[in-house]
Amino acid sequence: MSRLPFELFLALRYLRPKRTFVSVITLISILGVALGVAVLIIVISVMSGFDHDLRDKILGFNAHLTVIQTNAETQSAVPMKNYSAVAAIVAKNKNVRGVSPFLIGPVLVETEGDTNHPSLQDAPMLRGIDPETEGKISNLPNDVIEGKFDLSGHGLIVGAEFASSMGLSVGDHLSIYSVREIKKMKVARDSKQDEADLPDDYEVRGIFDAGYYEYNARFVVTSLENAQDLYNLDDSVHGLFVMLDDPYEAALVKGQLEKSLGDNFCVSTWMEQSSGILTALIVEKNVMFYLLFFIVLVAALCILSAQITFVIQKTREIGMLKALGASNLQISGIFLFQSAIIGVIGVASGFGLGMLAVAYRNEFLHFMRNATGWELFPASVYGFGDLPALIAPRDVAVICVTSFVICILGGLLPAWRAGRLKPVEALRYE
């Protein structure tokens, strides 16, 4: 201990626990810093996990680019008839890994349950795909958790949440009402015909789990031929899904494809299609970061209060040290070392607590759900079955370093005041 600089030596001695008001404030300061750092690490890691997992789910179910054909005059989307030729042009781009045609639109479905009480699902989205090329642009063939990825004939695969809400299992049948079927029914009713065409039945061949509630609850998937028949599009499609080697090059490739395809085609990126929720997550993360830093600022105010009280209590000792030749900087160093020690202990404790909480976050949520019956993280609201988290070293470093600097700043004013104290004034009433 004697080899330590005397400023650090005295700072450690003064911080030894004593049954005084200053010791209580010091302990509260350490706890405040620890809680602030821990909460920041937990919240920022969870927000980063949301962003990371959401991007993965979007890119796992959707393509990086979507190409549609538009009307030159109205700029509205029109069916793409020569999609094979367009796909060949798109595939020539060196950044493109896969191209696949698609159809997508709302339908109405009915189960084959009790005829007196049929079960209806309000307009899920039907997605028509080419089974042979779908694996190049999405993870859907690998996301099937029950049954198999079989769209031959009138085959159908549905999302896990959709199957649960409809009471479906592999082998069940669904009647699908497309816009064409509904128009036929309307014509039959208006003409007072006794007979009307019935919709085709589709067999559930598989149930998929894309890892995101919205996709699992709102999508049913069939073959391209079935979707073309449902939407009466003959050999046309709604557009092309494009997969890239690097999804973050989407904006660059978009410009290249628009030049290659011409003015009658529109290319959109996955970031544009999901810009609302992705931007909201980034804004929320930044806002939470700044708001939660107020916890650390409150702890810094506690440090400031403790140091001011401590300087007043140690006025006599400060005067004696100054009389023995201690410089202003050395006296200030004693109290700055105290603030630094509080900061180190608080930041280290908060770091450990935060990392522990992030590691066991889902176990805690499951325990709370089993103990209280409350769903603290409902998948129907947040879209994920488990609470995601991503520990970014850069974010953790910013939190820890900034918190430590704030602790130092909290003790700067008392340290400066102690360093300027004159020995005569300090010892005048001793």
What is the DSSP-derived secondary structure letter of residue 197?
P
Specify the pLDDT at position 115.
44
Are residues 33 and 113 both part of a single domain? no
Specify the pLDDT at position 379.
63
Would you say residue 348 lies in a domain? yes
Q: Which tokens go with 392? A: 């970014």
Are residues 102 and 235 both part of a single domain? yes
Specify the pLDDT at position 220.
92
Would you say residue 32 lies in a domain? yes
Specify the pLDDT at position 116.
44
N-term to C-term CA, the chain = 30
**CA separation for the pair 149, 336 (Å, rounded):** 66
Sign of CA dihedral 39, 44, 45, 50: positive
Q: pTM (2 decimals)?
A: 0.70
Q: Evaluate whether 398 touches 57 at the Cβ level (below 8 Å).
A: no
**CA separation for the pair 154, 356 (Å, rounded):** 50
Query: In whole numbers, what is the pLDDT of the chain averaged over residues?
Result: 81
Specify the pLDDT at position 118.
53
Specify the pLDDT at position 194.
56
Count the neighbouring beta carbons within 10 Å of the beta carbon of residue 128. Answer: 24
Specify the pLDDT at position 240.
93
Of 430 and 316, the structure prediction assigns the larger pLDDT to 316
CA angle 231, 233, 239 (to 5 degrees): 95
Q: Is 139 exposed, middle or buried (0-12, 13-18, 19+ CB in 10 A)?
A: middle
Are residues 269 and 227 both part of a single domain? yes
**CA separation for the pair 227, 103 (Å, rounded):** 7
Are residues 78 and 208 both part of a single domain? yes
Are residues 310 and 242 both part of a single domain? no
Sign of CA dihedral 65, 70, 76, 81: negative
Are residues 387 and 414 both part of a single domain? yes
Q: What's the average model confidence in pLDDT over 52-59?
A: 80
Would you say residue 335 lies in a domain? yes
**CA separation for the pair 248, 297 (Å, rounded):** 37
> What confidence tens digit (pLDDT) does each residue in 192-240 have?
665 556 677 899 999 998 878 888 888 999 999 999 888 888 889 999 9
| Count, residues in the chain | 430
Would you say residue 422 lies in a domain? yes
Of 6 and 353, the structure prediction assigns the larger pLDDT to 353
Domain endpoint, select from 273, 299, 314: 273
**CA separation for the pair 246, 96 (Å, rounded):** 9
**CA separation for the pair 71, 81 (Å, rounded):** 13
Of 295 and 43, the structure prediction assigns the larger pLDDT to 43
Would you say residue 99 lies in a domain? yes
> What confidence tens digit (pLDDT) does each residue in 332-383 have?
777 788 888 888 988 999 999 999 999 888 888 878 778 877 776 666 666 5
Would you say residue 399 lies in a domain? yes
Of 298 and 17, the structure prediction assigns the larger pLDDT to 298
Are residues 42 and 156 both part of a single domain? no
- The tally of domains found in the chain comes to 2
Nearest to 38 by CA among 399, 408, 340: 399
> What confidence tens digit (pLDDT) does each residue in 80-131 have?
988 899 999 999 999 999 999 999 988 888 886 544 445 555 668 899 999 9
Count the neighbouring beta carbons within 10 Å of the beta carbon of residue 80. Answer: 25
| Strand 219-223 with 125-129, pairing | parallel
Q: Find the range with the poorest average confidence among 61-75, 248-262, 308-322.
A: 308-322
Q: Which tokens go with 293? A: 């830093």
Of 244 and 282, the structure prediction assigns the larger pLDDT to 244
Asked if pLDDT for residue 243 goes beyond 70, the answer is: yes
Would you say residue 1 lies in a domain? no
Asked if pLDDT for residue 319 goes beyond 60, the answer is: yes
Domain endpoint, select from 273, 296, 318: 273
Count the neighbouring beta carbons within 10 Å of the beta carbon of residue 137. Answer: 23
Are residues 229 and 297 both part of a single domain? no
Are residues 84 and 178 both part of a single domain? yes
- Of all residues in the chain, what percent carry a pLDDT higher than 70? 83
Specify the pLDDT at position 66.
92
Are residues 237 and 321 both part of a single domain? no
* One-character DSSP codes across 106-125: E-EEEESS-TTS--EE--PE
Q: Is 247 exposed, middle or buried (0-12, 13-18, 19+ CB in 10 A)?
A: middle
**CA separation for the pair 381, 378 (Å, rounded):** 6
Of 183 and 102, the structure prediction assigns the larger pLDDT to 102
Are residues 326 and 312 both part of a single domain? yes
Q: Evaluate whether 70 touches 266 at the Cβ level (below 8 Å).
A: yes
Q: Which tokens go with 192? A: 């007072």
Q: Evaluate whether 202 touches 155 at the Cβ level (below 8 Å).
A: yes
Are residues 409 and 298 both part of a single domain? yes
Domain endpoint, select from 223, 238, 273: 273
Would you say residue 195 lies in a domain? yes
Q: Which residues contact 336 (CB under 8 A, 6 or more apart)?
A: 408, 411, 412, 415
> Domain containing 205: what range?
63-273
3-state secondary structure of 88: helix
